[in-house]
Amino acid sequence: MSIQLSDVRKSFTNDLVLDGVSLDIPTGETLVLFGPSGAGKTVLLRLIAGVIDPDGGRIIVNGADMEGVVPEDRGIGMAFQNFALFPHMDAHANIASPLTARRETRSGIKARVKEVATLLKIDHVLAHRPMELSNGQKQRTALGRALAAEPSILLLDDPLRNVDAKLRFEMRLELPRLLKEQNATVIFVTQDYKEAMALGDRIAVMGDSGIVQIGTPEEIYLRPSSTRIARLFGDPTINLLDVVPEIGAHGPIIQLSGREIAISGSYAGAVGQACSLGIRPEAIHFVEPGAPGAFPVEIEAETPLNEKTVTLAATRNNREILVSRPSGAPGPDRGSAHVAFDMGNALLFDLATGARMIGTDAPANEMSK
Amino acid sequence: MDQTSTLEKVLRRVAISLVILFFMFPIFWIVLMSFQTNETILRVPPSIVFEPTLSNYVALITGRLETQAGTLEVNFMSNLWNSLFLSAGSVAVGLILGIPAAYAFGRIKFRGSEDIAFTLLSFRFAPPLLVLLPLTIYFQKIGLADTYFGLIWVYQLIVLPLILWIVRGYFEDIPADIEYAYRIAGHSWFSTFRKVALPLAMPGIAAAGLLAFIFAWNNFIFALVLASADKQPVTVGALAFVTASGIQYGQVAAGIVLSILPTLALALYAQRYLVEGLSLGAVKG
Amino acid sequence: MSDAVVPAKRKGFRISPGALPYVLSLPALLVCIGILVPFFTAVAYSLQRYRLSQPWARRWNWGENYWNFLSDNSFWNTLQVSLTYAILTVGLELVLGLCIALLLQKRTRFNNFVSIMLLMPLMTAPALASLMWKLMTNPGFGILSYFASLIGLEDFRWASDPSTAMLTVVLVDMWVYTPFIMILLLAGLRSLPKQPFEAAALDGVPRLFVFWRITLPMLTPYLLTATLFRAIESVQQFDIIYAMTQGGPGDKLTVFQVEAYLNFFQSTNVGRSAALLMILWVITYVLSMIFIKQWLKLRERQRGEA
């Protein structure tokens, strides 16, 4: 089932939450709504589910306008951030609730609940009330309830938010398979960029009462449309260096650590403007002093993380940059060193507005995590 | 608090004892009186030593009062019955009317809902006679005077705001997501109301119902103005009884005991909710 | 995906979501309109010369009923008696209720048991409570009259004596309603945060100082709520006074509602009765507006903590 939103608006007593949101989600896609809290992600889900009504705009599900269609008729499955389990019903009744509404046979309901519960590994706690369930079991029950009726549209409102780190990690691995098996159109809300990148066919980044960028995880990661979005994705965060492109011998250049570094010719238009050079830590490499584009830095600190080592280095004019390399890869841990930027993955943003400068070539390299 | 002096401990005990004495003695004394004949009641000085008799209760229950002047018919039991019927009827009507309204005010929040809710609440605080006096004249005209129906209607003045405001708080406390979840699962708002909201608000509904029953039972002024002898509840009936039976003090005491017993029993049963109910949901006990 | 339900508007009768709350609250509202009508009738009565005994002489006299109050001693007596009653009962109940709440503050089994026992007077119908006290203050056999004589007050006549009638009904009111204030303040006291008290105890701050500077200010919302609630009810007290003395002796206890009741049913002066009630209504309305604000604040606070 496809979902189309056009110019959907919603405000709550003078507080404009959604200002003309348009979205087109084809059947079977998993779209991640990503953004800080208060960006209107949950409101958008509720509008689609029909529990609140938009002030304006149209919500179309599989070609049918949803205006005036009550939530129970929309054939949607939804899981809530706080689980929203029915406290007075056991897990079985919770999961069965979408099935009882359809007046299915008792044995049919029982079989289906058992099936879903087994899939989610909670078949041993079906007789328990929510109060007696662990957080992880609650979350799985809530998910089971959303999946039970095999809805063609699944709205998942940050379902992993309130579970512990270990469980979140497990579910992040498990969920994509689960969702694909459902063959449903999924909207998944999260505030965790890793979750967004792992689960989304596309990611819609929300902010400022609307969607600020929409694209595949690669697009969002490699070509964020503004410094703000660039900073939301990636850990450690992207390096942003104030630069003013100049005309060099062979095209536009920037000055870094007393060296001239060539930037893509398509940025010629940016010459003389105050810019922000965005470069992800993993696109900076330690190199030999003579290598092309190499410039000297002083190592200030090194932090070994699980899969990577992050180095904080300072350029000659005391600009700090973060360099990331896979764990085990050789690199200096103190003193002076030389680094080179992988300029194919560098981005230029307007310093004043934060918007990415148009004219960039598509970054050549594969995305690296 | 552990290093309190012995003197303070003694003072505290004395104070608590005095408090218990002041508040419990009248009930204790009236209960004692109800088991006495006029003879022992009129002894000077009074004494708590007497031979208990059930004759007062027997007289009230059989409806025959033996006096020096002869046998007197009393319909005190019908007063009790009236109290029961009026209170239970009012609470039933109040719940039927009040629960949906409480749900509308507490959950749906619509234009003007706060204003209406407060208007209803302000009824609770208006002088009852202000409404009752014109109502006597209206009730005469439309034939509602001295009917159970008319009385139960007027009793809504105390029952309805109470139920509305307590139950509303309970509906508000149910997370909206829980109801949304049930709707999205495919159930109509009515079945959501019935299967989710109602069960979750049930403690509040029970508390409001019990309290409303107590308040209706204890009400005096409505029935005094609007009911004639055969529809009177115990509060009004007991007052008339005092004048009718004149000097049968034992029976008056027994009547009072029978009249306050149901509310006291209910109060003990519902005491967990009393604080909340008495403050119309503002203070949780 | 199994059989996909194509979203479609269901057929048949449905209440539109926008109308739903109105539909739900309509029955309750209709019942209340039945109550609003007599209210406006009362307003009209108060502007009329209207005696049940002389229906032919009924006419609008606009503000005359109110105007007459200015030079009407019995009106000023009513006002004075009502306010005296309200101030005495609320003041005394507040002090006594607070003292009892402080005594029972600690959550022990005994204290909880006592606080539940003290609810019994509150659950007694005020009219019946009056009767109980009437029996106890009977000059012939009343136990309280006997006690009075023991301490040298021979022939102490309680409610039948003009000089002690007020005292007697105030006593009954205190008996019934002090537990109300006590139970609210007890709930308030027990919900106060512990840290300030622990800190003060550690610093050896005198207990009286703690009471005035910490306990009382923190308890203020509860005190205000309880006071206003009781003031609204007390200024329109009817049951206790009517059941005890019907306003007597003389006009000693003719508070607003008793006076209005007597005006209506005995002197059949509907106009004056309605005007009296309107004035009482204004007083209670002002009080209840303050009360509702205070009450909302408290409710908000309790919900915030929950």
CB contact under 8 A, C306 and B157: no
* DSSP class per residue in C198-233: HHHHHTT--HHHHIIIIIHHHHHHHHHHHHHHHHHH
Domains in chain B with CATH codes = 6-68 (no CATH), 77-278 (1.10.3720.10)
Domain-ending residue, one of A207, A224, A241:
A224
Alpha-carbon gap, residue B106 to B145, rounded angstroms: 35
Neighbours of chain B (3+ CB pairs under 8 A): A, C
Domain identity same for A257 and A175: no
Domain identity same for A122 and A243: no
Which pTM value belongs to this model?
0.84
User: In terms of CA atoms, which chain A residue is nearest residue B182?
Assistant: A97
Domain-ending residue, one of A190, A224, A258:
A224
CB contact under 8 A, A86 and B196: yes
Q: What is the pLDDT of residue B68?
A: 63
Domain-ending residue, one of A165, A199, A224:
A224
Instruction: Evaluate whether A283 touches A342 at the Cβ level (below 8 Å).
Output: yes
Which of A133-137, A200-204, B19-23, B36-40 is least confident?
B36-40
Alpha-carbon gap, residue A55 to A43, rounded angstroms: 12
Q: Which tens digits make up the pLDDT trace of B77-131?
A: 889 999 999 999 999 999 999 999 999 888 877 777 777 777 777 777 889 998 8
| Rounded to 5°, angle at Cα A351 from A350 and A354 | 65
User: Amino acid letter at C285?
Assistant: Y
Q: Give the structural domain span for A46.
A: 3-224
CA nearest neighbour of A239 among A280, A296, A275 = A280
Residue A356 maps to a domain: no
Q: What is the pLDDT of residue B19?
A: 94
Can you name the residues that pair with C48 across neighbouring β-strands?
C60
pLDDT beyond 80 at C48? yes
Average pLDDT, integer, range A2-14: 88
Domain identity same for A134 and A205: yes
B64-67 and A336-341 as β-strands: parallel, antiparallel, unpaired? unpaired
**Class of the domain covering C48-305:** mainly alpha
What are the backbone angles phi and psi of residue B102, rounded to the nearest 5°?
-60, -40
User: Which residues in chain C are closer than 8 Å to B259, comparing Cβ atoms?
Assistant: 125, 128
CATH for A193: 3.40.50.300
Q: What is the pLDDT of residue C294?
A: 83
User: Which residues in chain C are closer than 8 Å to A182, comparing Cβ atoms?
Assistant: 1
Instruction: Evaluate whether A72 touches B186 at the Cβ level (below 8 Å).
Output: yes
Residue A366 maps to a domain: no
Domain identity same for A152 and A14: yes
Domain identity same for A117 and A213: yes
Domain identity same for A17 and A122: yes
Alpha-carbon gap, residue B66 to B60, rounded angstroms: 10
Helices C20-46 and B148-173 cross at an angle (nearest 10°) of 130
Q: How many folded domains does chain A comprise?
A: 2
Q: Tell which B residues from 13 to 42 touch C, by Cβ distance under 8 Å.
A: 15-16, 19-20, 22-24, 26-27, 29-30, 33, 41-42
Q: What is the pLDDT of residue C267?
A: 85
CB contact under 8 A, C243 and B218: no
User: In the A/C pair of chains, how many CB contacts fall below 8 A?
Assistant: 33
Domain identity same for A164 and A79: yes
Q: For CA atoms A54, A59, A65, A66, give the dihedral sign.
A: negative
Domain identity same for A277 and A167: no
CA nearest neighbour of B271 among C38, A291, C122 = C122
**Mean pLDDT over the full length of chain A:** 86
Can you name the residues that pair with B67 across neighbouring β-strands?
B70
pLDDT beyond 60 at B16? yes
Q: What is the pLDDT of residue C1?
A: 37
Instruction: Evaluate whether A72 touches A228 at the Cβ level (below 8 Å).
Output: no
User: Which residues in chain C are closer than 8 Å to A61, comparing Cβ atoms?
Assistant: 7
Alpha-carbon gap, residue A83 to A106, rounded angstroms: 25
Q: Which tens digits make up the pLDDT trace of A88-130?
A: 999 999 999 999 888 778 899 999 999 889 888 888 999 999 9
pLDDT beyond 80 at C165? yes
Q: Which two tokens stand for residue A366?
A: 């594969």
**Mean pLDDT over the full length of chain C:** 86
Instruction: Evaluate whether A155 touches A185 at the Cβ level (below 8 Å).
Output: no
Q: Which tens digits make up the pLDDT trace of A315-348?
A: 888 888 899 888 877 777 778 888 888 888 888 8
**Mean pLDDT over the full length of chain B:** 85
C217-231 in b/e burial notation, b at 16+ Cβ within 10 A? Answer: ebbebbbbbbbbbbb
Q: Where are the domains of chain C?
A: 48-305
Average pLDDT, integer, range A197-213: 89
Percent of residues, chain C, with pLDDT higher than 70: 93
Which of A282-286, B269-273, C37-41, C68-72 is least confident?
B269-273
Q: What is the pLDDT of residue A362?
A: 46
* DSSP class per residue in A234-263: SSSPPEEEEE--EE-SSSEEEEETTEEEE-
Q: For CA atoms C270, C272, C275, C280, give the dihedral sign.
A: negative
Domain identity same for A181 and A304: no
Q: What is the pLDDT of residue B245?
A: 61
Strand order in the sheet with A76-79: A76-79, A153-157, A185-190, A30-34, A202-207, A210-215
Q: What is the pLDDT of residue C7?
A: 42
Domain identity same for A236 and A162: no
Q: Which residues of chain C form beta strands (DSSP E)? A: 48-49, 59-60
Which of A268-277, B212-221, C178-187 is least confident?
A268-277
Question: How far from the centroid of its chain's Cα atoms is residue B6's Cα?
Answer: 42
pLDDT beyond 90 at C154? no
ipTM summary value? 0.89
Q: What is the pLDDT of residue B218?
A: 93
CA nearest neighbour of B221 among C263, C285, C126 = C126
Alpha-carbon gap, residue C269 to C246, rounded angstroms: 18
Instruction: Evaluate whether A252 touches A270 at the Cβ level (below 8 Å).
Output: yes
Among C42, C125, C141, beta carbon nearest to B235: C125
Q: Which tens digits make up the pLDDT trace of C73-103?
A: 889 999 999 999 999 999 999 999 999 999 9
Domain identity same for A174 and A295: no
Alpha-carbon gap, residue A350 to A341, rounded angstroms: 20
CATH for A291: 2.40.50.140
Question: How far from the centroid of its chain's Cα atoms is residue C45's Cα?
Answer: 26
Q: Which tens digits make up the pLDDT trace of A238-286?
A: 999 888 888 887 788 888 777 888 887 777 778 888 888 899 999 898 8
The answer, yes or no, to whether the previous bond of C139 is cis (omega within 30 of 0) is no
Residue A369 maps to a domain: no
